[in-house]
Structure 1
Amino acid sequence: MMLTATILPRVFFFKEGGKEVELADPDPQWSTETVLHFYANTYPVLNNARIEGPQVRDDRMEYHFNSVMGTKG
């Protein structure tokens, strides 16, 4: 029996306005931190986010960017 290794694609998610936004992997060679900083230019809420994952689901590796911003008051 021959085994085949497969590299699973990465997908990134974050919540914005109660909806989950799916982000494509801009470069599989980048670290997850680099991807986070890349997308923070477009989505400022990601400037204060942490990375959770990966979780393998549907033949892909899913990472979640979770905002650590609190509320005032």
Structure 2
Amino acid sequence: MMTTQLLPRVFLFTSGGRDMKLADPESRYTPEEVKHFYAGSYPILTNAHIEGPNIAEDEVQYRFVTTLGTKG
């Protein structure tokens, strides 16, 4: 018998050279709404764009990509 499983969403970003993994605050939120939710705690996310979803490690992963501090 085949079963299905809903994979959890996680949101990733890099800050200060460290990879951060953020939990999904509310499954109803769009990835953009999640970005705004976390921007209060991580202001660098206000100008980030979203990549994904990618499925890895039994998770649906979205990545917040910032360009702050990069040249060129």
If the length of structure 1 is used for normalisation, what is the TM-score? 0.87
Unaligned runs of 5+ in 1: none
- When the two chains are superposed, the root-mean-square deviation of aligned CA atoms in Å is 1.5
- 1:5 Cα deviation (Å)? 2.3
Name the residue aligned to 1:10: 9
Cα deviation, residue 54, structure 1: 1.0
Match of 1:33 in 2: 32
* TM-fit CA distance, 1:6: 1.7
Match of 1:64 in 2: 63
- Supply the distance in 2 between the matched residues of 1:70 and 1:60 (Cα, whole angstroms): 29
Give the 4+ runs in structure 1 shifted more than 6 A.
none
**Distance in 2 (alpha carbons) for counterparts of 1:70 and 1:18:** 11
* TM norm structure 2: 0.88
Q: 1:29 Cα deviation (Å)?
A: 1.1
Counterparts of 2:29 and 2:17, CA distance in 1: 28
